[in-house]
Amino acid sequence: MERQQGSVGGDGQNGAGDPGNRSGGQQRGGGVPVSGPGPGGRRHGTKIEKARDVRGTLRRLLGYLRPHRVTLAVATLLVVASTFLDLLGPYLNGVAIDRFITERDVAGLGRLVLLMLGVYLVVWALRVALARMMVGMVQQVLRALREQLFGHLQTLSLSFFDQHPHGDLMSRLTNDLDALGRLLAQNVTDLIGGLLSLVGIVVMMFSINFWLALGSMFVFPLMLWFTGFVGKRTRQGFRDFQMRIGQLNGELEEIFSGQRVIIAFGQEESTLAKFDRVNEETRDVGIRAQTYANLIPPLMGIFSNANIAILAGLGGWMVIRGWATVGTILTFYNYSRRFAGPLRQLGDLYNQIQSALAGTERVFELLDQVPEIQDTPDALVLDKVQGDVVFDQVNFSYVPDVPVIKNMSFRAEPGQTIALVGPTGAGKTTMINLLSRFYDIQEGAITLDGVDLRAYQKASLRHKLGVVLQDTFLFSESVMENIRYGRLDATDEEVIAAATLANADQFIRRLPQGYQTELSERGSNLSQGQRQLLAIARAILAEPGILILDEATSSVDTRTEQHIQEALLRLMEGRTSFVIAHRLSTIREADRILVINNGEIIERGTHDELLAQQGFYHHLYMSQFRGQEAAAD
């Protein structure tokens, strides 16, 4: 599993809250519509882009092949040698008829047969060596591309992932790269071999008999025109198909992730109907792409048969007139059949190459994405954190002209606990996203220990932040490794010590294999409270300078909440902490409470001070208090 060391204690992702918690329900990152289902299941416009410049794609692809110049040169020589030897077969067949069969020279015929067997054996050996060489080279290229692509994805901002379905990104990392692998491993050598075969056949035919060769070339221009005509439509068809496959993967990823909700609400039929619609769209685009692709082979067969008919008529007439021999006609017949073969192969290759280039373009499009959040050349490394955080007249919008944070100013002194309360969509999680620098503000400044956040290196800043979320993300690994995600160089003893401080050690030891128990996907074989305790242990192990708690106890029972609160108090000790909470009873002891509504701080103070004001906070608190009394009755 690829990881980056960091102190994210909640989910191990570059996210700190519910994507839906923002003013007006606006989409992040500008709200630009994109193809396919969005992260939240919304389907945007599905207008499909036209193919980009093929030459540019090929030039860029050559850059990945330059380190393998020697391998490519040797492979080219093998292709040339095997193609040349393969072309000797039809010529030797004609020689066998004219020189040995008609002369009844059995000994000479035997020697020629052995020569032909030797030639074909060498051709086989050359092609096996070529395949082995190309497979090794291609896998190295694909490994480098996967590594670069995955590494680049780690640098992209959260807004990019908000706008691109995860299934589509996975499709680019798998399907599109696989198509590129087939292009490099098979299609390139087949293309070179096919072109060399065509040139070699033409040269051999004209060197044997000019007029027969001229007659055999009659249908060649028609073949070329048809291949070009169909090929243009085939390439766009395959590009459309691959984009639809990415959208289909996005639907599947979303359905699998939400299977529990689908079953709970009995929406299996509606989900199946939705999937059927996307599946049918994919089917229709696939039929169009494959229809164009399948036009070439049968029509190439027709052209080939027409060429044989021309050769039979012209060749028979020339034999009758004494201008050609039977061996020559057989040689031309074999060459004509082989001539149609490379053309048919080139037609098929054209389709495959178009498909691979379409996938390669999609990969390069992903590599060309520029991270919105970037370090400056002289960015500072954040070594130690005192925890002095200041928001100074901060304004922020996910979508232009739709403000989410408005003229926000406050200060968190070192070691203080700042609670953020307010209705859903008020901007609380957005404040955390800005503090984590998942997004950059448009106006104002956010400083940490007197330095603007934008002056720090992103990695060093986030390494000093510990995040515990309501929805804890756990990996399909052991309990030990999930806690160690907070600090990858931690020893087993340090992991166990962190779990003990988090009140997690006792339940972990009761698991079947203790700390070595393998967790299922997203830790679904643990309770919500157990997952939260592991997240807290992860954050304790990371030793962050600033702690962020986003609804960390809202989904657990009262007894579990008590265990979690005890662990959180240990974690918060001596650290500047930001706590988002809907259960107002959990933040009574906060040094300062900020009441957020519509992106603005409308009240601030301690719990007692805010109750005394009898304002918005007082109303929220009394509503919860009365609700708890009613539940108790």
**In angstroms, how far is the first alpha carbon of the chain from the final one?**
50
Do residues 196 and 164 make contact, with C-beta atoms less than 8 angstroms apart?
Answer: no
For range 568-597, the mean pLDDT: 82
CA 455, CA 467: separation in Å to the nearest integer?
Answer: 21
pLDDT attached to residue 413: 92
pLDDT attached to residue 486: 85
394: number of Cβ within 10 Å = 21
Do residues 55 and 470 make contact, with C-beta atoms less than 8 angstroms apart?
Answer: no
Residue 425: what residue type?
Answer: G
What is residue 53's DSSP assignment? -
Do residues 456 and 382 make contact, with C-beta atoms less than 8 angstroms apart?
Answer: yes
Checking if the pLDDT of 593 tops 90, the result is yes
CA 624, CA 626: separation in Å to the nearest integer?
Answer: 5
CA 431, CA 412: separation in Å to the nearest integer?
Answer: 13
Q: Is 471 left (phi over 0), alpha (psi -120 to 50) or beta?
A: beta
What is residue 468's DSSP assignment? E
pLDDT attached to residue 411: 93
How far CA 358 is from CA of 36, 113, 143, 420, in Å, comes to: 18, 46, 19, 48
Residue in the block written with tokens 């954050």: 539
pLDDT attached to residue 445: 93
CA 72, CA 354: separation in Å to the nearest integer?
Answer: 21
Residue in the block written with tokens 């919860």: 624
Which residue in 502, 526, 505 sits closest to 515, CA to CA? 505
CA 260, CA 51: separation in Å to the nearest integer?
Answer: 39
Q: Is the model more confident about 47 or about 121? A: 121
CA 142, CA 176: separation in Å to the nearest integer?
Answer: 11
pLDDT tens digits for range 103-118: 777 787 788 888 888 8
pLDDT > 70 in the chain, percent: 83
Which residue in 27, 256, 301 sits closest to 161, CA to CA? 27
DSSP string, 412-438: E-TT-EEEEE-STTSSHHHHHHHHTTS
- Chain-centroid distance, C-alpha 592: 43
Do residues 138 and 67 make contact, with C-beta atoms less than 8 angstroms apart?
Answer: no
pLDDT attached to residue 351: 65
DSSP string, 506-573: HHHHTSTTGGGPBP-GGGTTS-HHHHHHHHHHHHHHH--SEEEEESTTTTS-HHHHHHHHHHHHHHHT
Checking if the pLDDT of 633 tops 90, the result is no
Confidence of residue 36 (pLDDT cuts 50, 70, 90): very low
Which residue in 348, 338, 345, 349 sits closest to 200, CA to CA? 338
Confidence of residue 41 (pLDDT cuts 50, 70, 90): very low
CA 219, CA 216: separation in Å to the nearest integer?
Answer: 7
Domains and CATH numbers, the chain: 53-367 (1.20.1560.10), 415-424+455-632 (3.40.50.300)
CA 531, CA 472: separation in Å to the nearest integer?
Answer: 6
pTM of the entire predicted model: 0.59
For range 426-430, the mean pLDDT: 87
Handedness of CA 299, 304, 305, 311 (dihedral sign): positive
Residue 459: what residue type?
Answer: A
Helix (H) or strand (E) holding 407: strand 402-412
Confidence of residue 561 (pLDDT cuts 50, 70, 90): low
For range 68-94, the mean pLDDT: 83
CA 82, CA 193: separation in Å to the nearest integer?
Answer: 8
Of 91-95, 249-253, 383-387, which one has max mean pLDDT?
Answer: 383-387
**320 by DSSP, 3-state: which?**
helix
CA 394, CA 447: separation in Å to the nearest integer?
Answer: 11
Do residues 461 and 453 make contact, with C-beta atoms less than 8 angstroms apart?
Answer: yes
CA 351, CA 584: separation in Å to the nearest integer?
Answer: 63
pLDDT tens digits for range 442-477: 899 999 999 999 999 888 888 888 888 777 778 888
Of 70-84, 252-266, 335-349, which one has max mean pLDDT?
Answer: 70-84
Which residue in 318, 548, 257 sits closest to 420, CA to CA? 548
Do residues 443 and 394 make contact, with C-beta atoms less than 8 angstroms apart?
Answer: yes
Q: Alpha helices of 322-394 — where are they, by DSSP H?
A: 326-367
The lowest-confidence range among 21-30, 131-140, 332-341, 456-465 is 21-30
573: number of Cβ within 10 Å = 10
pLDDT attached to residue 25: 35
pLDDT attached to residue 318: 80
Which residue in 459, 462, 471 sits closest to 433, CA to CA? 462
Which residue in 303, 294, 298 sits closest to 336, CA to CA? 303
